[in-house]
Amino acid sequence: MIRAGLAVLLLAAALFAGEVSARTVYRCVRDGTVSLATAPEPGSECFAKQLDDGAALVPNLWGSLGIVHGKLYRREQDGRTVYSTRNLPGSAPVLAFTAATPPGSPAHEGLGKVGQPRLAEFKPQFKAAAKATGLDEAWLRAIAHAESAYDASALSEKGAQGVMQLMPETSREYGVKDPFSAKASIDGGARLLRDLRKRYEGDLTLVAAAYNAGIGAVEQYGGVPPYAETQAYVAKVQALYARYRIAMGLKPLPAQLQAAE
């Protein structure tokens, strides 16, 4: 196991790059995931980075992702050998690696605050989305309240959009063409929550954590990730869910938390 992902990439690149004092490495982003490559990856947004082979320290190109485990792959692209940490079609594994980067969180706490339920917001849209997905409307509203405080034009610093604060790649996956349309956002968010509820067999704590930080983070940590943002978000959603159930005349669940306003 090699403990420097970028060093592995540079070592592999040296096998074919010849004697040079600097080389170009590409940081490529696709669907919220990062890879490093010796050429731009098809289907990814890539940024070129010039690295000095004589530098004492190799810069961190991963970003703040915590511990990164992966493999270096080799493939042919446009008549040349290319190395990448993403397993693209036609790739063959070369080396495994672990790279330590600063701890980071893909989550944001949400733009809404714990407060009184707001049942007048987008009544037809929430009722229809809850019926179509089989979700508890109180739960769906708790998520929307925590995410955006029902602001259809909301945009977080992480790039989440609309009432349900969907990330652009999630909007594409669920066919949400206008994430700032309240109806489209609520429909897409409800379908995502339905899928997460099925995945986690009804465990709403994990559903909320995955909605906030992503399925990958929940899988990595075997539960709610240790991100301050996610932990605060889950507590906020639980508190709001309890309040929305009471406001809608439903029996509160014993495990729900009541938070101070």
Q: Which residues belong to the active site?
A: 147
Identify whether the C-beta of residue 37 lies closer than 8 Å to the C-beta of residue 50: no
CA of 66: how far to CAs of 53, 108, 157, 206, in Å? 25, 17, 20, 21
Look-up: residue for tokens 């429909």? 187
Secondary structure (H, E, C), 55-95? CCCCCCCCCCCCEEEEEEEEEEECCEEEEECCCCCCCEEEE
Identify whether the C-beta of residue 248 lies closer than 8 Å to the C-beta of residue 119: yes
CA of 64: how far to CAs of 13, 32, 60, 103, in Å? 24, 13, 9, 5
Amino acid (one-letter) located at 26:
Y
Q: Which residues contact 171 (CB under 8 A, 6 or more apart)?
A: 161, 177, 179, 188
- Give the distance, in angstroms, between the CA of residue 175 and the centroid of all CA atoms in the same chain: 17
